[in-house]
Structure 1
Amino acid sequence: MYRDLSHRIETGMQTYPGDPDVTVSQAATVSADGAAVLEVHCGSHTGTHVDAPSHTEPDGDDLEDRDVGEFVLETRFVDLAPCSPRERIGLDAIPVDLGDAGDPVDLLVVRTGYDEHWGSDDALDHPYLSPAVARTLREAGCGVGTDTLNPDPTPTENAGEDEPEGFPVHRELLGAGLPIVENLANLEGLPERFRLYAFPLPLADADGAPVRAVAELEHSRS
């Protein structure tokens, strides 16, 4: 059984502030041209996407430097929804057995419920992971997937004075070559363990790329 965890790519869809706008238009039609073709303009971090280390690390790998098998991820799922605006997610919300060598986890998938705000200004004031959580994930060799624009706080006029600045979660995880998958959707009711397929588009020199994120809910794990 499979479940699509991706946002649809469409004109005017939400992006991280300052990222390129997204347009999808008809470049050719069957009636006029004999074949239909869409013209797509977007940034490398459009919609549901995976970050490469080069997104924040000056000497980090691009996506094309990674083996495609690295985007088949054994996950641990935690459901924290509903979270409050700009809520700091701390260590008490994170499973303590992520580093269990007998049952490895590649990605912690965190549901905050903020995919329900997709396309609105409310989505910018999403919950975020504390730097302590990022350090714990790095020590466990585990990346993170979220249903938010960012595992770090996204700057808005509602930001608190005690919020971390910049991209500490990105730097901690991408600096260790661990995956970050952002803007996941449709996470409600997922099992505690599942396999995630998050193959990025093969963009040249990619610091990130959209993915079709698909959860395999029933499989035999070796």
Structure 2
Amino acid sequence: MDCKSGKGVKQFHPALRELLKEQIAQWRAKGLLNRPIHVMVVGIPNVGKSSFINKMAGGKRAKVEDRPGVTRTKQWVKLGDGVEMLDTPGVLWPKFDDQQAAQRLAFTGAINDDVLDIEALAMLLLEYLHEAYPQALTARYKINLPEGTEGRILLEELGRKRGMLVPGGEVNTERAAITLLDEFRSGKLGRITLEAPENEGA
């Protein structure tokens, strides 16, 4: 499904009823003809749970913002056709033993930026993108630097290309970092994945 374009939305209800057809048959056998299907939407913060529910409901029912932590309480939303969805606050496991996983979550905005070093985070993201998606950086920011270039240099180049200079000709790297993270999270750099399936045959 794509919540922005609406692709796949019409297939959701039929797929849900197909998945639960045995349960629905049991309800009907007991005379529960109008029992609603309750669906819980669960995931990490800032991945679009409320946006998904709003798309399914055909309008803005759940509060949405481009930052984590907006949904603070559970709320039921009636979709029609006998389906109700429960919007829930984002959940994260309490401790990250895998720092790379925590880093990827931070890239997506699942971890609140207020507790992070934004510039350091942007440098790490730039290093990843420069290695895995160099064409995205070239297309969006006209960055075309040698393989293995440090994140600090990439961030400065981004700011320079966007004209983010302060008196004296230095780059405003904080502004450049915020721009990168905002545009990455909003999909302006294109379709990008931060991890690939493991190759079981390797």
- Check whether TM > 0.5: no
Larger Rg: 2
Greater helix percent: which structure? 2
Greater strand percent: which structure? 1
Which one has more relative contact order, counting CA pairs under 8 Å at least 6 apart?
1
TM-score range, shorter chain: under 0.3
TM-score (norm 1): 0.25
